């Protein structure tokens, strides 16, 4: 897929990309409220996190499925699976740019701080504070995963008073790879949904739930080359 085709895909699906960003922001706010309400119980916290992730994945799936279905309906012809895969990936990756920039920035700072500790046995406080600011921003936009993160990488200062805490800020607790992993569900679900929509395969229909776009008898979805 050349650059011209990529730009055409982004331009045509501009509204979808904006809605993916809005969905993530809204779900982050919703997740923060739900997770704070269940923060006192680890089991409830984990359940609330999976619930938030499930709702977020459903919204992503539904939006990308509709987008793929509209694309085929507009073109009046079935599209090859490879083309649907590329277009779906382009859309979800574009909608993940902020997540990616945050994860890369955090990773660079985390590696720098670790290297500084090893080489000079000293911590660059400014870099730690900067890393924690980025960490906070990433956690906000990935609030659906708070429950999982809290259980995997617990903060040693949680529950302690200011005087009892060993450090004012727990420095960069979360490993860099974690924030890349939390991007994968949306990318995988969104891409698959776009392919399903473009192929007129609906999981919702399997459960008897009607979709906005129905089978077009004039489009041969199954014999694509």
Residue 22 shares a structural domain with residue 69: yes
pLDDT at 225 over 50: no
Q: How far apart are CA 35 and CA 27, in angstroms?
A: 12
Q: Is the pLDDT of residue 158 over 60?
A: no
Mean pLDDT across 22-28: 95
| Per-residue DSSP letter, 173 | -
User: What residues make up the domain containing 15?
Assistant: 1-96+186-220
- 225 found inside a domain: no
Average pLDDT over residues 109-114: 80
Cα dihedral 105, 5, 201, 58 sign: positive
Reduced to 3 states (helix: H, G, I; strand: E, B; else coil), residue 214 is coil
Q: What is the rounded average pLDDT of the residues 156-184?
A: 63
User: Is residue 65 domain-shared with residue 123, that is, in the same domain?
Assistant: no
Determine the pLDDT at residue 121.
Answer: 56
| 158 assigned to some structural domain | yes
| CB atoms inside a 10 Å sphere around CB 101 | 12
Gap between the Cα atoms of 11 and 206, Å rounded: 32
What 8-state DSSP symbol labels residue 215? Answer: P
Query: What are the angstrom distances between the C-alpha of 148 and each of 1, 56, 135?
Result: 37, 15, 15
CA 110 to chain centroid: 21
Token readout for 54 is: 């499930």
Q: Give the pLDDT confidence of 66-93 residue by residue, as tens digits.
A: 999 888 776 556 678 888 999 999 999 9
Whether residue 31 lies inside any domain: the answer is: yes
Mean pLDDT on 2-27: 91
Average pLDDT on 41-60 reads: 91
| Mean confidence (pLDDT) of the chain | 80
Helix and strand element counts for the chain (H, E): 10, 0
Looking at the predicted structure, is the pLDDT value of residue 164 above 90? no
């Amino acid at each position: 897929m050349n650059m011209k085709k990529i730009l055409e895909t982004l331009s045509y699906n501009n509204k979808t990309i904006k809605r993916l960003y809005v969905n993530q922001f809204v779900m982050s706010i919703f997740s923060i409220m739900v997770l704070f309400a269940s923060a006192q119980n680890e089991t409830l916290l984990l359940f609330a996190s999976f619930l938030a992730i499930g709702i977020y994945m459903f919204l992503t799936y539904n939006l990308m499925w509709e987008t793929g279905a509209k694309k085929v309906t507009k073109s009046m012809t079935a599209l090859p699976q490879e083309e649907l895969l590329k277009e779906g990936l382009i859309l979800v990756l574009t909608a993940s740019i902020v997540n990616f920039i945050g994860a890369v920035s955090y990773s660079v700072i985390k590696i720098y701080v670790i290297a500084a500790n090893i080489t000079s046995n000293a911590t660059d406080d400014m870099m730690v504070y900067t890393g924690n600011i980025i960490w906070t921003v990433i956690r906000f936009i990935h609030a659906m995963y708070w429950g999982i993160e809290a259980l995997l990488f617990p903060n040693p200062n949680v529950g302690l008073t200011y005087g009892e805490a060993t450090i004012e800020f727990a420095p960069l607790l979360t490993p860099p790879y974690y924030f890349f992993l939390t991007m994968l569900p949306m990318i995988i679900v969104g891409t698959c949904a776009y392919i399903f929509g473009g192929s007129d395969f609906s999981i919702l229909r399997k459960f008897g739930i009607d979709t906005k776009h129905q089978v077009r008898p004039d489009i041969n979805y199954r014999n694509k080359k």
